[in-house]
Structure 1
Amino acid sequence: MKLITWNCNMAFRKKAEFILKEQPDILIVPECEHPDKLIFKNTIAQPTNQLWFGQNHNKGLGIFSYSDFKIELLSIHNAEFKYVLPLLVSNNKFKVIIFAIWAQKPEKHDCYTEQVWNAIHFYSDLLDNENVILAGDFNSNSIWDKPNRIYNHTNLVGILKNKNIFSTYHTFHNQEQGKETTPTLFMHRKLERPYHIDFCFASKNLIDKMKSVEIGKYENWTKHSDHKPLTVTFEI
């Protein structure tokens, strides 16, 4: 199973052909427009299944299957955590709980981690499943931790670790949180403003099945988005 998360920086209908060259089975797209606006060229592969969530039809969270996997929003979904979507993704042979994520800034302060922090506590029981993935634009990194803030990025990673859920990138490339060598975002598309804020976390059962973890190159993707795609392939 190849899973890709890519914040497309809006107008996905104009950019789908580029990310689909990577042949994802499951594609998570923050800042994706509503399906009614997704009119693709005839030469572009059509998703076999899709789900979209948002309030602004120009900018929501899209999840697409380009395989035999079906996508279902679980009834436990709490709309308070707008863009942390608990999904059942399954085919005849395999099923996985995927949390598609596009972290939003709270009204009272600028810590994006709070939304994801509150969501994983609410969905704590779901995180105990054998196959769990959390993937998307977390808008956070340990470099922005504030020691007196309980819901910082490092503590979020710690809670997931206690659930036997780990970052695929950091595990596969043997790197530390906050010391990533490959950015997923170049702020305002500037080389001098690199950050690693897009993640794919997976349960131990899936971590053991990782085949590859890749991040797109600046020169290949900057004309399409300020974010680079994060691609994780599992042997399942």
Structure 2
Amino acid sequence: MKIVSWNCNGALRNKFHLLTYLNADIFIIQECENPTLSKHKEYQEWSHNHLWIGDSKNKGLGVFAKPSIQIDKLDWSCQYKDHSVKYFLPCTINKSFQLLAVWTHRNKSPNFGYIGQFWKYLHTNLVHFDEIIIAGDLNSNAIWDQWDRWWNHTDVINMLKEKRIESVYHSSSGEQQGFETTPTFFLQKNENKPYHIDYFLVSPQFQNFKDFKIGKRDEWIKISDHVPLIFSF
């Protein structure tokens, strides 16, 4: 199976056809519009088998699968105490394993934006994680850890390690968190502002994977500030 995660930077209806050559079984797409409410016929047809969440019909988080694949949304909580967190879309694939699509958001939080949202989500739902693949745009890296904050990127990574969930990129490259040499995002599409903020994080059942690739900037920068991550197992 091949899974691709990509922040499309909006307007997926005008870009989805460019994903064809990747020939993935499942696409996890951040910043895409709601296919159900789209007036773009071809986009609706392409996304026939999908799950989607978002506050605006124009920008949310979607999981798109081939027609032969069964995707069932899981009823996991997006509440931490009295606060909602976003965006997290958990589902099962072919009733076989869990998939958690992620696009962390500032969510108007003065203190717990982005990786803080994931930290909250894990405190509520980590107990449910079994055979799981987590993929998406975390908007986070260890370089932004703060010494007096208890919900840093590193804290989230360590919480996942308690469940033996590891980053595919780091296990395959041998690089440490915060020292990545391959970027996934270019701020304002500027090649001089590269960051590694997109991830595949997988439980032990998927750590002996077949292949993992990160798209090349030159091939994607005209249509998005992110490049796709491609995971095969």
Tell me the TM-score normalized by structure 2: 0.92
Instruction: Name the SS for the 1:159 alignment partner.
Output: helix
For the 8 Å contact 1:172–1:212, the answer to whether it is kept is no
2-side partners of 1:177 and 1:40: how far apart? Answer: 42
> Given the alignment of the two structures, is residue 181 of structure 1 paired with residue 196 of structure 2, yes or no?
no
Shift of 1:22: 0.2
2-side partners of 1:68 and 1:21: how far apart? Answer: 18
Q: Deviations over 1:45-76 (max 9, x none)?
A: 72451011011111011110025222221123
Which amino acid in structure 1 is aligned with residue 191 of structure 2?
Answer: L
> Given the alignment of the two structures, is residue 87 of structure 1 paired with residue 91 of structure 2, yes or no?
yes
2-side partners of 1:19 and 1:37: how far apart? Answer: 19
Shift of 1:111: 4.1
- Match of 2:98? 97
- Match of 1:167? 167
2-side partners of 1:110 and 1:122: how far apart? Answer: 15
1-side partners of 2:140 and 2:20: how far apart? Answer: 26
For the 8 Å contact 1:48–1:68, the answer to whether it is kept is no
Shift of 1:193: 0.2
User: What is the aligned-residue RMSD (CA, Å)?
Assistant: 1.8
- Distance change in 2, residues 1:70/1:77 (3 Å): farther
Which amino acid in structure 1 is aligned with residue 6 of structure 2?
Answer: W
Alignment of 1:74-153 (within 5 A): 74-78=74-78, 80-90=84-94, 95-106=96-107, 107-109=109-111, 111-127=113-129, 129=130, 131-153=131-153
> Given the alignment of the two structures, is residue 212 of structure 1 paired with residue 216 of structure 2, yes or no?
no
For the 8 Å contact 2:70–2:94, the answer to whether it is kept is yes
Instruction: Name the SS for the 2:169 alignment partner.
Output: helix
- Distance change in 2, residues 1:5/1:70 (3 Å): same
1-side partners of 2:62 and 2:90: how far apart? Answer: 13
Unpaired runs of 5+ residues, structure 2, are none
- Distance change in 2, residues 1:20/1:156 (3 Å): same
Aligned length: 227
For the 8 Å contact 1:6–1:229, the answer to whether it is kept is yes
- Match of 2:158? 158
Q: Deviations over 1:161-195 (max 9, x none)?
A: 11110001111122111111110000000000000
> Given the alignment of the two structures, is residue 200 of structure 1 paired with residue 200 of structure 2, yes or no?
yes
Instruction: Name the SS for the 2:134 alignment partner.
Output: strand
Which amino acid in structure 1 is aligned with residue 125 of structure 2?
Answer: Y
Q: Deviations over 1:123-154 (max 9, x none)?
A: 12212x1x201110000000000011111001
Which amino acid in structure 2 is aligned with residue 82 of structure 1?
Answer: K
Tell me the TM-score normalized by structure 1: 0.91
For the 8 Å contact 1:77–1:85, the answer to whether it is kept is no
2-side partners of 1:18 and 1:179: how far apart? Answer: 31
For the 8 Å contact 1:77–1:86, the answer to whether it is kept is no
Instruction: Name the SS for the 1:72 alignment partner.
Output: strand
2-side partners of 1:45 and 1:105: how far apart? Answer: 32
- Match of 1:55? 55
2-side partners of 1:5 and 1:163: how far apart? Answer: 22
- Match of 2:69? 69
- Match of 2:4? 4
For the 8 Å contact 2:77–2:124, the answer to whether it is kept is no
For the 8 Å contact 2:4–2:26, the answer to whether it is kept is yes
